[in-house]
Structure 1
Amino acid sequence: MAFFTKCRICICTLKEPNGKYDMKKIPLLAQKFSTCTDLAIPTEEHLPTELCRPCHDKLEHFYLFRSQCIASDTKWRMEMLANKQITTVETQRSTAFIEETNAIVEITESVEANEGNTSTVNPETCLFKCDLCSARFLVEHRLVAHKRQHDGLMPYPCTEDGCDRAFNRLHCLSEHLKQHVGDTSLFNCEQAGCNKSYRHKPTLVMHMRRCHNLGPELRSHVCEFCGKIFNSSAVLNDHRYTHRDKSQLPHACSESNCNQRFSTKEKLKVHMLRHAGIKNFSCPYCGLRKTTRNELKIHINYHTLERTYCCRFCSKVCHSSGNLKLHVRTVHERAKDYACSHCDRRFAKPDTRKYHEMTHTGEKPNSCVDCGKRFTQPAALRTHRKIHERLRQKTLATTTVYTLALSAPTE
């Protein structure tokens, strides 16, 4: 008796071999199923993963309808923002917008007091315009912060002499300035044996929930593709992009010769700083400059070794949390999260995958300045350069011996 599988959705028996669609063999179909139903397709469970033709067609129509709804909603919201039709709730969520609104109110009241009438002020007359792009602001400090970003700088620098700190948000700068005036009020953990202190109360609350199990239980967010668990939906959403093709990432680089795309605006911003060669953070020990503050912190730790990260499985000691995570994933978990976009091979590190994909595309970006020979990996170029170094040393030694021989007195 032949064994016939059943449809995952309508539970009908699949008798026709050409009329069924296996989600294990069609990753894109599995992604659409998970997106539309919030159901995962784990490989270890013995649940059917095949769809009949009617259910497959319904899923495709529903996925297209969902995409159309999202696209139209985005378009409507963009038009509302363009017409400044922002609701009161949205206005209250934005501190910056409140500041700008208060500025308009003050200007309006002053004009009415001077002219003695109820005429309103045209917002266009009090806008501060950027001379480098089309951005406009209602308060001057927002324009100053915006123009600093054109130069690759943080919007809000510290105003104290000798302090080179800068911040992305105005309230972060305000919190930092409190330290200069001596306001160092901290929120201390009151649990026995815990001496942790935090500058912000929400950070203390999160510490109490994570370390002492006090307060509401933290929600765990599970990836439906690989089963990894995350503490927040934002981190999970960013992780989901690792299971998609690079062409589906929402933020693309605007450089003509670069086709890279990124999952967040922050990652794209850092990438554009690298294109511009902007490195605002300098190491006080060796002078090496870095693009981001986090990169500088990791680099400085290699000088000071103030923090070390020990592996819980072996005697390996790392100098950054990122290196420790990479060590655990590659050595102990033997994970290969990075799949080649041209073949079925998978790799533990993104750099290894990148160099492997170059063997498919034929790219060899590393060129020797002496002979012009090109290589895929920088390590291969460094090995090749040693050949030229040895030849130069040999030639120099031969020339020296010949010169000494000529300059020697003859009897």
Structure 2
Amino acid sequence: MALGESNLTFCFVGKRRLIVKSETTDDATKSNVNEEVKKIVVSKKAKAVKVKTPTINIVMDRGKFKTIKSPRAIPMSEKDKHANNFEVVLGNSTATPILSRDGFTYTCCFCTEHYVNPAELKTHTLLKHNSSNDRREFMKKQSSSGYVLKLDITLLKCKLCDVGIDTVEGLLDHLQNEHKKLIHRDVKNQIIPFKFDGEDLQCAICHLVFNKYKILVEHMKTHYRNYVCEVCDYGSINRRAMINHKQSHKTGSFECNKCDKVFQTDQKRRQHFYTVHKFMSMPNKCGICNERFKSSPLKDQHMVSVHGMSPIIRKCLSCDKTFTTQFALRIHTKKYHLMERNFPCTECEMKFFSKDQLKFHMLKHTGQKDFQCDVCLKWYTKKWILKEHMRIHMNDRRYKCLQCGRGFVQKCSWHSHMRTVHGEIDDKALA
């Protein structure tokens, strides 16, 4: 092998590239360089350990040879950094991931098992899926733009030292500082924490209470504004959610390819397509048998009657009343606690919650009577008043006094009798 005028020689051995540099071109130096190259080649062949091939530079410096290895560094991707953090957190703590909740059961991230109690899901995950293989398979399904991890941190502890920790950030700091675990802090935190240590669905950060898991998940977006829309200040936890949101700001004419409807934004067109054409106006799906329903109450009724789930009882946060539907709870809250009165009377200063209430009230001002008795031809302002009046003609004395045996058509008459004749009011005296 001879050195050229450029004072640089390349020598390839297998996939190894040897770069030989020299500042002199005399024959003795060339011979020494060739001998040094041969020694390195022989020593490299003698090694049995397979490693990534580095570039070897042999430099002549003041009459001595120096060997410099410069391995080619490959930067770690964002997804790989999330995968590393995911592995460290789940492998060294009691935190467990949650795929979803359909209103009745929590679904395991690694399999299709469903559990009513999140504590049962935690036990299942720690016993059945406490392996790196399951965690790697889970991360393979994730994408860098759409990655988000819903993590149950109820009674969170470090597996290495059994120390209790309250937050995800506290757990990351603990594993990094106390146990020298590799945590990549240069990627945005896309782990949403949940705590299920009580009957209520409470935010793990600001401690607000919610009636539905889906609403709680939507609320958590206010705490994780990793990406912010420059148009409306909307915040999202990952890039995919922000990309989808920005579509709502692009206006135009977007036609549905299944019907003749045209929408102002592509987001509304896609929502129409999935709701009407793909899911046939049945957006609510059962998480067990995949049957679809037009409304959430119908799905809830199906879960109770077919799959034996316990009915969801929604408790009012301001009083002790409970409701079986979210709609009934919302109406109750607006009417009795928020005191919404959006229907004002045009004749006086009174306001009412519903249009029907206003309509009944207006009868006081107009005196209009639309309901007539067929027997005595009397007119009444309200239908229920006419129904009570008809009991007189039918001799329906359903309210009886157990002390003297007298019967009354109206309950108010029975109350008056009990108060004036017997000096007491007792609902148990009704027959």
TM-score in same-fold range (> 0.5): no
Structure in which a larger fraction of residues adopt strand: 2
Q: Relative CO higher for 1 or 2, CA cutoff 8 Å, sep ≥ 6?
A: 2
- What TM-score, normalized by structure 1, do the two folds share? 0.30
Structure in which a larger fraction of residues adopt helix: 1
- What TM-score, normalized by structure 2, do the two folds share? 0.29
